[in-house]
A and B are shown apart, each in its own frame.
Chain A
Amino acid sequence: MTARQTLPRLLDLPVAPTTDPAWILVEEGFTLAREHEVESLFAIGNGYAGSRASLAEGCALSAPATCVAGVFVSAAGSVPELARLADWTHLSVTVEGHALQLDQNSYVEHRRILDLRQAMLWRGWRQRSAGGRITRLRELRLASLADRHLLLQSMTLTAEDYSGSVSIDATPMGPLTQLTDAGITVIMAVRTRLTGPEGGAVGTAALPIEQLNFDINRGETYRLDRVVAVYTSRDTREPLRTARRRVERAVENIEDVVVQHRDAWLARWEASDLRIDGDPAAQRALRFAAYHLSSAANPDDDRVSIGARGLSGTAYKGHVFWDTDIFMLPFFNLTYPEAARALVMYRYHTLAGARAKAARLGHSGALYAWESTDSGEEVTPPFVVGPDGEVVRILTGEQEQHISADVAFAVWKYWEATGDERFLIDAGAEILIETARFWESRAKREGDGRCHIRGVVGPDEYHETVDDNAYTNAMAQWNLEVAELTARLFAERWPAQWRALSRRLGLASGEPQRWQRVARDLYTGFDERTGLFEQFQGYFGLEEIDLAAYAQRTAPMDVLLGRERIQRSKIIKQPDVVMLVFLLWERLSPQVRRVNFEYYEPRCGHGSSLSPAIHALVAARLGNTALAEHYFRQAAEIDLADNMGNAAGGIHAAGMGGLWQAAVFGFAGLRLTEKAPEHCAKLPPSWHSFCARFQWRGQWHELTLPEG
């Protein structure tokens, strides 16, 4: 991918593509095998709906998908997954009886641009068809941020060197009405308008099947606009009527739809842009991250969250992980608090599922699903057939229980960042209490007088069914303490609400004090003498493997060594103790932070996309800027490097959140203390300046580095 050229202005529309290379991603030409990656990277979305950037006419490898957040379907015997709606972008152009196909005929020019600043996908295509006729097409797509129910596609078609007949098949592929097994109706209302060279409307088709035929003269341009309004029965009782009404209005005001969308994004960027002078690659990667994160969030719907791949693809089935709470949420806390609120409220609305899971496993309180959808029920599949044909049991759904502490952590961080008392009173406190209750029942006091949590998986998923995972236990300890603190805070500040909440939750007197005692006695594997946390009991006795010998690898370490060997080794998949160092930074001494990073960093195989960014962040905070830069580049390349085929199913939203955190909390050294934001910057030498705006407790702050 390059970032150098732009398309000419799309005829008659009031916007032109952004030309600044720091704001655009360009895919020149056409490499069929890369198509799925391009579809993901260039996807458009607005948090309500998202569409992959599939070629309008399709190709041998096209995988178009339009999804609505929170709308899932379940095939018999499988876990729920995001529903795919009709491919509303489908457009097939035929010139004198010959279909224009990018992967069959020879193209003269082909270029796609993801315009991050305006959140628009542009395409320019000159195609030579049979008889040597050259047709020029320009296309624009957007998912409106001003009205999240609207999707827009505009295309101009110019006959460069011929006169002849043109036919456009604009039939959406797939049903425009869907009823999910959960009883949700999804409606897409479509209107298409064709405008001739004189500017007059040639026709407006409202039927699902849209075949537009016309004669074109040499040099003439026609423009086709297609507007789609998407509504579900979650949004309104009358989705069909509402969608039709909305699309009728929009098709008559295409320019307004475009301008309002652009203005909404410009406002979004005012709040979320990071400006880096001196490192164009980092600048673009951070904007790419902010674009996809913002495209996945919807402040207007607090019953949905952001799946691992956002709305850019159907990989990971749209399931929600700790990725959202720990990796993405900080971006929203500081740049889009309304969206952050919706994300933490999603955890409140799914408390019932978390309580049910805890009860099913014989515990009290709330144990959040490792993978959740709309209901909050656990949807992690129990088995997988590996790529070598081996059937493998999946333990994360049962054992990766740190998710409950992660959710509590997210709730607290949202509250700290926003001071949103209403949220804490109405929802946040209940999450903190129920997760603390889970940990109290989960930790068992043993003969040594300490409380232990056995049989878990920590963030390092290479080691399963381990005892006393340091991350899990330390985060559980934090969760218990903060719940106790919340109880005190409530009783003091909002006594009436506290009494009501206590009654509703059946909170026994003395329960918060019990949480405190469990927290005090929880074993964390911390060695006062060395300052090291043992990642789990027995970790220090495992086999040392020198990762330097595998530096050129193209596969993760567990694939190269096999599951059994990796479990017997000290190689870890992703930051575990280092994650703990980052999240509980203020609780640890500088010496403890350093020795743990220096011990665990060389043992990390970075088998997770969550890994490089956190290493960059912690390395930057510790002052190892060169190492931090190395990891930052690695994190930036997860989706943007040309050889990253695993972006085919969607972008890595958590990796993007991590990248943003590495820049803001790592290099810029922003720390959000109890009293006020502070910073201690350690910028890479190539970053001549850094500027970010962020919101803290309702106030806008600007961080400009270097200062003065």
Chain B
Amino acid sequence: MTEPTVLVPLDGSEPALAALPVANALGEVEHAALLFLHVAEDRPPDAESLSRVLLGGTELDGLTVATRTGKPAAELVHAAAEIRPQLIVLCKHGAIEPPNVLGGTAMNVLHNAPCPVVLVPPSRGSTPWRLQHILVPHDGTPGTSTALRPAQKIAEHAGADLLVVHVAGTAPAAVEPGYFTTPRYVDQPHHEWPAWSSEFGKRFVCLGPPGRLQMRVCLARGNAAAEVMRLANQHATDLIVLAWRGVWDAPRAAVLRHIVAAGRCPIAVVRV
């Protein structure tokens, strides 16, 4: 499929519909068609079950719904591999899963999707969603910058501002060439910090597409996950975009796990 597509899995539960306003808005931003996908575990879904899936949402009239049969997570991943969507937008957990975890299907999609995955907390319901403020936690590695290209593109297309957050800490420095973290030496803060912000931003932007971004770099200190949450709330963030190296278990992905558990806004996860 060559037409830009946003894939939206729906399982028939009400929480899953929280993905719709977000998918809609991202589809518009990306000039991508929405493709809904319903996977029935045992037999091919019929029209009646499909109308249950969509819960009769009038705003969805005329849109196509693809169906598959099988294990939902596996089928979603297969479908994504075939369709090659721009994004997958789905609710971060199912109706029966606890609210502070990543659901089984979402976890599987996250691990195996060939594109960025946007996880939407069911708690945001069907409230319309507008993309104005994006927050990007950044560890200072070129790998993360490269992975975050979609965030830059989305921000630029949406005209949203981008807040890039780097959290200074006590962890050892990364070894990736081109890694850039807080300066070890700050001889004169009034010279050093503006230069640092500028350099951080340029390194981030130069690895992405050319264009104009409304971007600001912010340095935070302390616990990275807590700081990202604090700044996301403080800046009324609509979307947090995180680069992820594919390992979910502690001690890795601490920020991602924390935000998935406690975040109130959608989270776009991009694989490094």
Taking Cβ atoms with an 8 Å cutoff, the residues of A that contact B are: 31-34, 36, 60-61, 308, 315-317, 319, 321, 371, 380-381, 383-389, 392, 394, 396, 550, 552-556, 558-560, 562, 606-611, 638, 642-646, 648-649, 652
Contact of B168 among A61, A559, A638 (CB under 8 A): A559
Beyond A316-B191, A554-B181, A560-B169, 5 additional pairs, beta carbon < 8 A: A31-B142, A308-B188, A554-B170, A606-B185, A646-B196
Query: A609 — which chain B residues lie within 8 A by C-beta?
Result: 185, 187
- Complex Cα spacing A410 to B178, Å: 38
Q: Are B180 and A33 in contact (CB under 8 A)?
A: yes
Annotate B154-168 by CB proximity to A: 1 below 8 A, 0 otherwise.
Answer: 000000000000001
A610 proximity list for chain B (CB < 8 A)? 187
B182 touches A556 (CB 8 A): yes
Residues of B within 8 A of A608 (CB): 185-187
Interface contact B218-A556, CB-CB below 8 Å: no
Contact A33 B172 (CB under 8 A): no
Closest to A563 in B: B189
CA distance A380 to B207 in the complex (A): 34
Known contacts A34-B178, A642-B177, A648-B199; A607/B186 CB under 8 A: yes
Contact, CB under 8 Å: B181 / A555: yes
A-facing residues in B26-60 (Cβ within 8 Å): none
Which A residues are CB-close (under 8 A) to B206? 32-33, 60-61
- Contacting A at CB under 8 A, from B121-154, are 142, 145
Name the B residues within 8 Å of A392 (CB-CB).
189-190
Q: Is A560 a contact partner of B168 (Cβ separation < 8 A)?
A: yes
Residue in A closest to B220 when the chains form the complex, CB atoms: A388
| 10 shortest interchain CB distances as A-B pairs | A33-B178, A387-B219, A555-B168, A384-B190, A646-B183, A555-B182, A609-B185, A645-B180, A60-B206, A33-B142
Q: Which residues in B have their C-beta under 8 angstroms from that of A562?
A: 221
Q: State the total of A-B contacts with C-beta under 8 angstroms.
A: 140
**For residue A607, which residues in chain B have a CB less than 8 angstroms away from its CB?**
185-186
Q: Are A559 and B203 neighbours in the complex by a CB distance under 8 Å? A: no
Contacts of A315 in B (CB 8 A): 191, 195
Cα A317 to Cα B190 in complex, Å, equals 11
A554 to B189 Cα, complex, angstroms:
16
Q: Are B183 and A389 in contact (CB-based, < 8 A)?
A: no
Query: With A and B bound together, what is the CA distance between A609 and B184 in angstroms?
Result: 8
Q: In the bound complex, do residue B186 and residue A34 qualify as a contact, i.e. CB atoms below 8 Å apart?
A: no
Q: Which of B145, B179, B184, B210 has the most CB of A within 10 A?
A: B184
Distance A643 CA – B191 CA, assembled complex (angstroms)? 20
**Contact check: which of A385, A396, A559, A645 meets B221 at CB < 8 Å?**
A559
A contact face: mostly helix, strand, loop, or mixed: loop
8 Å CB contacts to A: which residues of B210-244? 210, 217-221
In angstroms, Cα B207 to Cα A371, docked, is 35
When distances are taken between beta carbons in the complex, the residues of chain A under 8 Å from B173 are 554, 643
| 11 chain-A/chain-B pairs, Cβ below 8 angstroms | A33-B142, A33-B145, A33-B180, A33-B203, A321-B188, A385-B193, A552-B170, A554-B170, A555-B184, A638-B185, A648-B195
Which of chain B's residues has its CB closest to A308's CB?
B187
Whether B192 is near chain A, meaning CB under 8 Å from some CB there, is yes
Give residues 48-106 of B contacting A (CB, 8 Å).
Answer: none
Q: A381 → chain B, closest Cβ, in Å?
A: 5
Which A residues are in CB contact (< 8 Å) with B185?
556, 606-609, 611, 638, 646, 652
Give every chain B residue within 8 A of A552 (Cβ-Cβ). Answer: 170-172
Residue B108 CB within 8 A of the other chain: no
Q: Report whether A550 and B170 are in contact in the complex, using a CB–CB cutoff of 8 Å.
A: yes
Say whether B189 contacts A384, CB under 8 Å: yes
Please tell me if B112 contacts chain A, counting CB pairs below 8 Å.
no
B189 touches A386 (CB 8 A): yes
Chain A residues, Cβ within 8 Å of B177: 31, 33-34, 642
Residue on B nearest A634 in the bound complex, by CB: B184
CA distance A606 to B218 in the complex (A): 23
Q: Is the CB of A32 within 8 A of B188?
A: no
- Give which listed residue, A384, A388, A558, contacts B218 with CB less than 8 A: A388
Q: Does B202 count as interface, using CB distance less than 8 angstroms?
A: yes
Residues in B with CB closer than 8 Å to A652 are 185, 187
Contact status of A645 and B183, CB under 8 A, knowing A60-B206, A552-B170: yes
Kindly state the separation between the CA atoms of A386 and B186 in the bound complex, as whole angstroms: 12
Q: In the complex, A195 Cα to B203 Cα: how many Å?
A: 38
Q: Is B194 an interface residue (CB 8 A)?
A: yes
B207: which of A33, A381, A389, A560 is its contact (CB, 8 Å)?
A33
A643-B221 contact in complex given A396-B188, A553-B170, C-beta closer than 8 Å? no
What's the least CB distance linking A611 to chain B, in Å? 8
Q: Is the CB of A560 within 8 A of B170?
A: yes
Cβ of B169 and Cβ of A555 under 8 Å apart? Answer: yes
> Does B203 contact A61, Cβ atoms closer than 8 Å?
yes
Q: Which residues of B contact A389 (CB under 8 A)?
A: 218
Specify the chain B residue showing the minimal Cβ separation from A397.
B190
Q: Which of chain B's residues has its CB closest to A650's CB?
A: B195
Chain A residues with CB under 8 A of B187: 308, 316, 608-610, 652
What is the minimal beta-carbon distance from B205 to any residue of chain A, in angstroms?
A: 8
Task: Provide the bound-state CA to CA distance between A421 and B193, in Å.
Answer: 43
Chain B residues with CB under 8 Å of A319's CB are 191
Q: Which residues of chain A are near B178, meaning CB under 8 Å?
A: 31-34
**B179 engages A643 (CB within 8 Å):** yes
Residues of A within 8 A of B197 (CB): 387
Cβ-defined contact, B207 with A32, below 8 A? yes
> Of all chain B residues, which has the CB nearest A560?
B221
CB distance from B153 to the nearest CB of A (A): 16
On chain A, the residues within 8 Å of B180 by CB distance are: 33, 645
When chains A and B are docked, how far (Å) is the Cα of A384 from the Cα of B219?
Answer: 14
**Which of chain A's residues has its CB closest to B175's CB?**
A643
Instruction: Give the chain A neighbours of B191 by CB distance below 8 A.
Output: 308, 315-317, 319
Q: Is the CB of A384 within 8 A of B145?
A: no
Q: Contact check: which of B145, B184, B196, B202 meets A387 at CB < 8 Å? A: B196
Q: How far is the CB of B195 from chain A (nearest CB, A)?
A: 5
- The complex places the Cα of A552 from the Cα of B168 at a distance, in Å, of 12
Chain A residue, CB-CB nearest to B204: A33
Asked whether, in the complex, the Cβ of B172 is within 8 Å of the Cβ of A649, the reply is: no
* A550 nearest CB neighbor, chain B only: B170
Tell me how far the C-beta of B190 lies from the nearest C-beta in chain A, rounded to whole angstroms. 4
B145 proximity list for chain A (CB < 8 A): 33
Q: How far is the CA of A60 from the CA of B193 in the complex (A)?
A: 22
B184 touches A554 (CB 8 A): yes
Q: Which among A321, A645, A649 has the highest number of chain B CB atoms within 10 Å?
A: A645
Rounded to whole angstroms, the CA-CA distance of A107 and B4 in the bound complex is: 32
Cβ-closest chain B residue relative to A644? B184
Residue of B whose beta carbon sits closest to that of A393: B190
Which residues of B lie under 8 Å from residue A396 when comparing CB positions?
A: 188
A642 to B206, CA, bound (A): 19
Instruction: Assess whether A387 is in contact with B193, with CB atoms less than 8 Å apart.
Output: yes
**Residues on the A chain within 8 Å of B194, using CB:** 384-385
B109 to chain A, nearest CB (A): 31
Task: Say yes or no: B168 contacts A554, CB within 8 Å.
Answer: yes
Distance between Cα atoms of A583 and B193 in the complex (Å):
30
- In the complex, how many angstroms separate the beta carbon of A359 from the nearest chain B beta carbon? 25
| A31 partner residues in chain B, CB cutoff 8 A | 142, 177-178
CB distance from A484 to the nearest CB of B (A): 33
Decide yes or no: A388 and B219 within 8 Å by CB, A32-B206, A554-B172 being known contacts. Answer: yes
Residue of B nearest to A647 (CB): B183
**Nearest Cβ distance between residue A304 and chain B, in whole angstroms?**
19
Question: Please, which residues of chain A bring their CB within 8 A of the CB of B181?
Answer: 554-555, 643, 645
B214 to chain A, nearest CB (A): 15
